[in-house]
Amino acid sequence: MNSHLLARLAISLGRNQASQELRWMNHAISRGHTNLSLEDIVARRALGEPLQYILGTYHMTLLLSSLTFPTGSQPFGPLNLLTRPPVLIPRPETEHWVLKLAESLSPTAQNPISLLDLGTGSGCIPLLLCHLWPPGSVRACAVDISPHAMCLATDNAALCGIPQNASARSPRNTFTATFANFLADDFPVGGMRTALPFDVITSNPPYIPWDEYITLPRSVSDYEDPKALFGGPTGLEFYHAIARFLCRSGVLSPSAFVALEVGREQAEKVEQVVLSTGLFRHTEIWLDPWGKQRTVIARM
């Protein structure tokens, strides 16, 4: 192992993490997954660029298993999604609650549902649900204010084989990404109105408050879109906006299900925001794999 490259990485990552990542970089080069030299990869990583953007790698828990994935990709459940800066890289804590959500609901082709994902980013949440639920059981709509996100989500849908439209003769789950501001008074817009009312609404909105945002590691703050991270001074602004949207006439079906990812120490506050709408009879908080309150669930 190259000692000077290890020392350079260790300055920003610590020696153990740097050693793991350097082994994986060598592995990626030897398998032909990149045309970059080891020196170039280390230089970019030392500046804080995420490995997913450099090599398309998965999170560090997979390094020791020697699993490899195509350049610029990120596993998410059984899917393998494209990643491109500056769109937020799908996180394992999000994957965890989406898999649980897929098991909690049972749509069928005979009783299909309409789903809306607010601030979709890579499209990871609705695309995984489209993949896991039976064919013809879900019509997924996704919105984002970032054109980069819209392009990436559409590319990921094509990669996963999930069409924007399905013929009546061969029904399939569908996914439509729309460039729109879900905070606007006229939202939902255009063709999305035909999907009303929604049976499921999901969102991993920006939720990092300012005092936390300024302390984020450079691998996040310098490369991932701040509009996908910064949730306003308190980190709760988007949840209040979502609550106002849910209260609009015709948005929710009588048996609607809402799932909102939250940040550190936000779950109970977001739960109260959701309950304040007076729309839901039942709420609960799901924990992530590390025991942190991660997702607020609401049922009508």
Instruction: Find out whether 52 and 35 touch, Cβ atoms under 8 Å.
Output: no
Q: How confident is the model at residue 2 (pLDDT cuts 50, 70, 90)?
A: confident
Average pLDDT over the chain reads: 83
Give tens-digit pLDDT for 72-99: 678 899 998 988 877 888 989 999 999 9
Weakest mean pLDDT among 4-8, 30-34, 122-126: 30-34
Q: Residue 213: its pLDDT value, please? A: 56
Q: Residue 148: its pLDDT value, please? A: 84
pTM of the model: 0.74
Give tens-digit pLDDT for 163-195: 987 655 558 999 999 888 888 888 887 778 888
For the chain, residues classed under CATH 3.40.50.150 are 92-299
Q: Quick one: average pLDDT of 267-296? A: 96
Q: Residue 219: its pLDDT value, please? A: 55
Residue found under tokens 């909102």:
260
Instruction: Find out whether 209 and 232 touch, Cβ atoms under 8 Å.
Output: yes
How far apart are the C-alpha atoms of 156 and 254, rounded to whole Å?
A: 31
Q: Which of 143-157, 180-194, 210-224, 266-280 has the highest mean pLDDT?
A: 266-280
Tokens of 23: 């082994």
Q: Quick one: average pLDDT of 230-250? A: 84
Give phi and psi for 273, each to the nearest 5. Answer: -60, -45
Q: Quick one: average pLDDT of 260-264? A: 93
Q: Residue 78: its pLDDT value, please? A: 93
Q: Quick one: average pLDDT of 96-115? A: 96
Q: Residue 234: its pLDDT value, please? A: 76
Domain 92-299 has CATH 3.40.50.150: yes
Residue found under tokens 């994986």:
24
Helices (H), the chain: 3-13, 15-30, 38-46, 51-54, 92-104, 124-132, 147-159, 210-213, 218-221, 237-246, 267-275
Percent of the chain at pLDDT > 90 equals 47
Q: Residue 190: its pLDDT value, please? A: 73
Q: How confident is the model at residue 27 (pLDDT cuts 50, 70, 90)?
A: confident
How far apart are the C-alpha atoms of 248 and 270, rounded to whole Å?
A: 19
Percent of the chain at pLDDT > 70 equals 82
Q: How confident is the model at residue 290 (pLDDT cuts 50, 70, 90)?
A: very high
Q: Residue 232: its pLDDT value, please? A: 63
Question: 71 or 22: whose pLDDT is higher?
Answer: 22
Q: Quick one: average pLDDT of 22-40? A: 81
Q: What are the helix and strand counts (H, E) for the chain?
A: 11, 9
Q: Quick one: average pLDDT of 112-117? A: 96
Q: Residue 223: its pLDDT value, please? A: 53
Q: Residue 93: its pLDDT value, please? A: 94
